[in-house]
Amino acid sequence: MTVSMTPEELAESILCGDRRALAKGITLVESTSPSHREQASQLLELIMPHTGNSIRLGISGVPGVGKSTFIESFGNYVIGQGHRVAVLAVDPTSAISGGSILGDKTRMETLSRNPNAYIRPSPAGKTLGGVTRRTRETLLLCEAAGFDIIFVETVGVGQSETAVAEMTDMFLLMLLPGGGDELQGIKRGIMELADLVLVNKSDGDQQAAANRTVADYGMALHLLHPRSRHWQARVQALSALKNQGVDEVWQTVEEFREALTQAGEIEARRSAQSRAWMWSETADTLLAELKESDVVKSLVAGLEKEVTQGRIPPAIAARTLIDAFRK
């Protein structure tokens, strides 16, 4: 990639809402080359004062539940109300298998053509941590470019929900009509993250099953430990395909934002997220440096073997690596 613009020029163009500059900025933060990292850091520092002005929405659900259909109808609806929508993705499968659940098909076709929408597939990465860091930075760039509703989408396969909940203000969980948690592969811990549960495909012959699911989850949510003192998680029926219940989702998002902003909780959540992000950055960077050091490299194979064969305790091996690195 050649970025002929300086970070200053790039920041200025992004702040003017220039989409090509935004795309360049994102390519920069996604790059692993050290000189790009340096420029990306400068860019992020420059745009930082212009971030934070969006509602950050996390959304998850199993493949096929209707996430892209929903984001498309919701996106078009809120754009009609004068908003600008960015859609980012955290695809844990790209880190695990090198494949991608969220990136394969052409998604959100009408939304992707709308000048008030920006859709970015999940960055590739070897670790979920790497993927989420890039997505966090991309989110900030999108805010600087004037997008005021930002979706971070993930699939319901595990850890990535927690990562997405930790970078957003509100977490939406999409379910299908019928079937209990286990059937839908939803772990209790994931339910506890949800600020709003949407039972999608609430239409046609699935309508009755959807109504039952809404009632069941309504009760179940009251039994869970609430994520916030200022918000009781809700369940709503939705037909993303028929565009039914989409405006109600927006109303709930606005109510949520109002309630949590007044209580100071959006700010508190974001501060806590920034602190946690700082420490995970610190840990990741130190670990990467340690693994790159020659003395550590020379010890790793031997120590791993000793540990695997149970000849030395892992804690001692770790200490040996750290001591060698510090010298």
Specify whether the CB–CB gap between 47 and 15 falls below 8 A: yes
**Size, binding site for ligand GDP by CB under 6 A:** 15
Using CB atoms, what's the residue nearest to ligand GDP? 66
The C-alpha atoms of residue 117 and residue 321 are separated, in whole angstroms, by: 48
Q: Which of 140, 149, 240, 260 binds ligand GDP (CB under 6 A)?
A: 240
Stretch that binds ligand GDP, among 65-73, 219-227, 260-268, 277-285 (CB under 6 A): 65-73
Q: What is the maximum span of the chain, computed from C-alpha positions, in angstroms?
A: 69
* Residue 197 phi, psi (nearest 5): -105, 130
Per rule CB under 6 A, is residue 67 in the interface with ligand GDP? Answer: yes
Per rule CB under 6 A, is residue 201 in the interface with ligand GDP? Answer: yes
Q: Which of 66, 75, 125, 156 binds ligand GDP (CB under 6 A)?
A: 66
Per rule CB under 6 A, is residue 236 in the interface with ligand GDP? Answer: no
Q: How far is the CB of 8 from ligand GDP (least distance, A)?
A: 38
User: Which of 9, 66, 15, 124 is CA-nearest to residue 249?
Assistant: 66
Q: Which is nearer to ligand GDP, 107 or 133 (CB)?
A: 107
How does DSSP classify residue 121? P
> Which residues, 6 or more positions from 228, have their beta carbon under 8 angstroms from its beta carbon?
195, 260, 265
Q: Which of 26, 57, 65, 172 binds ligand GDP (CB under 6 A)?
A: 65
Per rule CB under 6 A, is residue 92 in the interface with ligand GDP? Answer: no
Q: Which of 6, 8, 63, 281 binds ligand GDP (CB under 6 A)?
A: 63
> Which H or E element spans position 149?
strand 149-155
Q: Which of 69, 116, 135, 236 binds ligand GDP (CB under 6 A)?
A: 69
User: Which of 130, 108, 133 is CA-nearest to residue 120?
Assistant: 108
DSSP output for 10-21 = HHHHHHTT-HHH
Q: Which residues bind ligand GDP (CB under 6 A)?
A: 61, 63-69, 200-201, 203-204, 239-241
